[in-house]
Structure 1
Amino acid sequence: MLSPRAPSAHILAYAQTLNGGGVEHALMRLMRGWIALGRRVTLVVGDISGPLADELPRGIDVIVLGDARYTGMVCVAEIVEQIAPDLIFCPGNHYTAVAAWIRLRLGAACPPIVAKVSNALDRRDQGWLLSPAYRVWLNWHRHFVDHLVAMTPAMRDEAIRTTGIDPSQMSVIANPPVRRADGPAMTLPLPTGRFLLGVGRLAPQKRWDRLIASFARLADRDASLMILGEGAERGALEAQVAALGLGGRVTMPGHVADPTFAIERATALALTSDFEGVPGVLREALAVGTPVVSTDSSVAVREIVASPALGSVVAPDDSAGLVAALDHWLAPQQPRPAPVPPPGADSAAAYLDLFDQVVLARRVRRQAPRRSRPASRLAPSCVPARP
């Protein structure tokens, strides 16, 4: 006897590129879990040439737009209309404008949309002009997203406060933990002796320039710094390293698929971003007993670094505090914390339970009888799809 079809049997997700950001890394792990649990998954991607292409799970349907620009994502709406998935998953804040466009373009024919909060919503890095406009944009999310998922309780509270979404439309589901790559460990040469490690895209948000500037002021002149990642800021960071005379102590070897081998050997891991969501790299470090130093870049950071024995959290603009924290964890004989198991082992299944509930709730609403009203009073929330 065949099993009944799950309400969210076919899930569509989308991404601009596969260049290796944390949002896309987590999406790969989730999609792998959904496929393993018997769901059909379609990924619409602008450009498939990035390093994460090797991590695409077997059995996934991939539709390549051939356009790596964000504006190219407007085509996702037409693809949704053509293949009619049961549910759309928006993997992060960066992509919610695409979700809004899909809802606007398809109107009542749009499948339910579940979006994940991947970055801080209370953005302290924004200026006086942008901040009010951003708050208005956040408040619109409850009009085009059926359900929001936060990765920690503190992020859930922040999302409710900044978007005005009903708490019944919010869930907390952690990202699935990173699994070690199959096969032999990476052979990338690591610094000898004590060294700090940074892991993440070379992007303005990550503020690796802040870490490099602080590293130049450390008391320990024998320590090294390695930053694993790739991105548009490489040229500026390399120029900064040269200007500070740190060429022999700072290395930036690029993106690596599995940085665990470096994380577990680092003296400490540093994250100096202006803003983050739930920094997975902090959990990866603590899972192998490597202490962390992080800026207070998200409400989730102090949830992760819950004890001074695990690491230090400093304000983004506290340069002296950052230097002191790095010096503290680089000190010889500094004890390492006990490993902290990461949450999220059942995340893929938790998402599927949520997806099924959201799809079923939509069906119930559509089947409920409605009182007739004069046509002139109807105000559709979205523009109907073109014929």
Structure 2
Amino acid sequence: MRIAIAIDRLSKGGAPKVMLSLANELLALGHEPHFLLMSEENIYDLPRGINVHCLFETDDKRLNRLFNLDKIAKKLSTKIARIESEVGKFDLFLSNLDKTNLLMAKTSVRPLFFVIHASVEEELKRHALLGPLKYVKKIRSKLALNGHHLITVSKGIEEEIRKKGRIKPASVTTIYNPFDIEDIVSKSLEKNPDIPTGDFWIHIGRFVQQKRHDVLFASLAKMENNLPIVLLCHKPKQARKLARKYGVEDRLIIPEFQYNPYPWIRAAKGMLLSSDFEGLPTVLIESLVCGTPVVSTDCPHGPKEILLDNLAEYLVPRRNPEELARKADLLLSRSIDLTDCGIERKVAADVVAKKYLGLIG
């Protein structure tokens, strides 16, 4: 099968990483994945067999405008038709992220599914606080999904869409994100001399409001332990400035961008997640696969679908640094068995890829 994965870019961020994992597994299963990129920005070294088509210039400002979308979508349709004339018809289109979704929804390509990576309602709440223009752009991209087939990356997002009724899709179903378990374990065993030799916490996430670094730093200040924390984020200066406000700047370790974060995760005493909302937080699953326990906010959506059974004890209320600190201290005092996490079987890459291939029928 020939599968087209349309997405804003192949750079830092959860959605590009997830779709790259899916493409790798599709390739391993003997299929032909193609990326249709709205931007040339690309930081990943792609394996041979995964085709990439950059459809617009990186600095093409038309992609961020409120108007003339029909004209841009028509140009996109023409480019896709040209690609299909060269490589053959696509058997499945998967669209990701708002900018791409807005354009793909105006094309006539089929079968077309939109992958929803985060809470729709939480994103709208956040953009309402950023001003009317930001909100209009965001809600326009969400309402463009009306009448289309949706794939959500967690049951929580699916339930939210069904209950809220803001979007009226043709269908909505959940397919978890794919994880190459063996590859993660293998990469986690690679040596990295930059990793601290002593104990430390780890937090991985962009420095954005959603991730609530303020809650994270406030919890560090309240912990009985005095462990440093490794931050893998994209705005180290801003992170340090905020940490200074909470008196914990001296506990931060912020390395440069890590193409392989897994050795860092494996070496940590625990992964901390302080987010207000997620879709299916990749770092939690990766942490469990690496054998590193987790303390996470019980945010919408995903954490409670990942931290099952005895691990559910380490879910804490959102925006509660005191409880995050208490559970982090508790985690340090215990030995936690992660040998049989039920979520791993549900997110194995071959299982997930076959579910996506099942959409073609």
Query: TM-score interval w.r.t. the shorter chain?
Result: 0.7 to 0.9
Shift of the alpha carbon at 1:247? 4.5
Shift of the alpha carbon at 1:123? 1.0
Shift of the alpha carbon at 1:102? 3.0
Amino acid at match of 2:18: A
Change (3 A) 1:66 1:311: farther
Change (3 A) 1:235 1:153: same
Secondary structure of the 1:197 match is strand
The whole-number CA distance in structure 2 between the counterparts of 1:122 and 1:45 is: 26
- The correspondence of residues 172-211 of structure 1 with structure 2, limited to 5 A, is 172-178=174-180, 179-180=183-184, 185-211=190-216
Shift of the alpha carbon at 1:118? 0.7
Q: Quick check: 1:77–1:101 contact (8 Å CA) kept in 2?
A: no
The whole-number CA distance in structure 2 between the counterparts of 1:160 and 1:243 is: 41
Match of 1:60? 50
Change (3 A) 1:68 1:185: farther
State whether structure 2 residue 281 is matched by structure 1 residue 290.
no
The whole-number CA distance in structure 2 between the counterparts of 1:33 and 1:336 is: 31
Match of 1:305? 307
Shift of the alpha carbon at 1:337? 2.9
Q: Quick check: 1:195–1:225 contact (8 Å CA) kept in 2?
A: yes
Change (3 A) 1:132 1:252: closer
Report Cα offsets for 1:205-257 as digits up to 9, x if no partner. Answer: 22223212321232222x1111123x2x3221122334555444210103222
Shift of the alpha carbon at 1:28? 0.4
Q: Quick check: 1:42–1:61 contact (8 Å CA) kept in 2?
A: yes
The whole-number CA distance in structure 1 between the counterparts of 2:41 and 2:135 is: 37
Match of 1:27? 19
Match of 1:226? 230
The whole-number CA distance in structure 2 between the counterparts of 1:187 and 1:135 is: 43
Query: What is the RMSD of the two structures over their aligned residues, measured on CA atoms?
Result: 3.1
Match of 2:261? 259
The whole-number CA distance in structure 2 between the counterparts of 1:70 and 1:274 is: 30
Secondary structure of the 2:202 match is strand
- The correspondence of residues 1-387 of structure 1 with structure 2, limited to 5 A, is 9-51=1-43, 53-54=44-45, 56-64=46-54, 65-67=56-58, 71-72=62-63, 74=72, 76-84=76-84, 85-86=89-90, 87-91=92-96, 94-95=97-98, 97-104=99-106, 106=107, 109-123=108-122, 125-126=125-126, 127=128, 138-143=142-147, 145=148, 147-163=149-165, 169-178=171-180, 179-180=183-184, 185-221=190-226, 223-229=227-233, 231=234, 233-244=235-246, 246-309=248-311, 312-331=314-333, 334-339=334-339, 340=341, 342=344, 343-345=346-348, 346-354=351-359, 356-357=360-361
Q: Quick check: 1:28–1:57 contact (8 Å CA) kept in 2?
A: no
Q: Greater helix share, 1 or 2? A: 2
Q: Quick check: 1:286–1:310 contact (8 Å CA) kept in 2?
A: no
The whole-number CA distance in structure 1 between the counterparts of 2:232 and 2:312 is: 22
Q: How many positions carry a matched residue from both structures?
A: 333
Secondary structure of the 2:325 match is helix
* Ranges in structure 1 where 5+ consecutive residues have no aligned partner: 1-8, 358-387
Change (3 A) 1:215 1:15: same
The whole-number CA distance in structure 2 between the counterparts of 1:61 and 1:256 is: 24
Shift of the alpha carbon at 1:45? 2.2
Shift of the alpha carbon at 1:272? 1.1
The whole-number CA distance in structure 1 between the counterparts of 2:105 and 2:170 is: 21
Q: Quick check: 2:145–2:169 contact (8 Å CA) kept in 1?
A: no
Q: Percent identity, aligned pairs only?
A: 23
Match of 2:69? none
Which entry has the higher C-alpha Rg, 1 or 2? 1
Match of 2:68? none
Query: Which structure exhibits the higher relative contact order, with contacts defined as CA atoms closer than 8 Å and separated by 6 or more residues?
Result: 1
Q: Which has the higher mean CA deviation after the structures are superposed, 21-30 or 76-85?
A: 76-85
Q: Quick check: 1:26–1:176 contact (8 Å CA) kept in 2?
A: yes
Change (3 A) 1:102 1:173: closer
Change (3 A) 1:158 1:57: farther
Change (3 A) 1:195 1:211: same
Match of 2:67? none
Q: Quick check: 1:191–1:224 contact (8 Å CA) kept in 2?
A: no
Report Cα offsets for 1:76-97 as digits up to 9, x if no partner. Answer: 4432233344332113xx33x4
Q: Quick check: 1:271–1:294 contact (8 Å CA) kept in 2?
A: yes
Q: Quick check: 1:276–1:297 contact (8 Å CA) kept in 2?
A: yes
The whole-number CA distance in structure 2 between the counterparts of 1:192 and 1:152 is: 36
Secondary structure of the 2:8 match is strand
The whole-number CA distance in structure 1 between the counterparts of 2:188 and 2:157 is: 36
* Ranges in structure 2 where 5+ consecutive residues have no aligned partner: 65-71
Q: Quick check: 1:190–1:262 contact (8 Å CA) kept in 2?
A: yes
Change (3 A) 1:253 1:177: same
TM, length-normalised to structure 2: 0.80
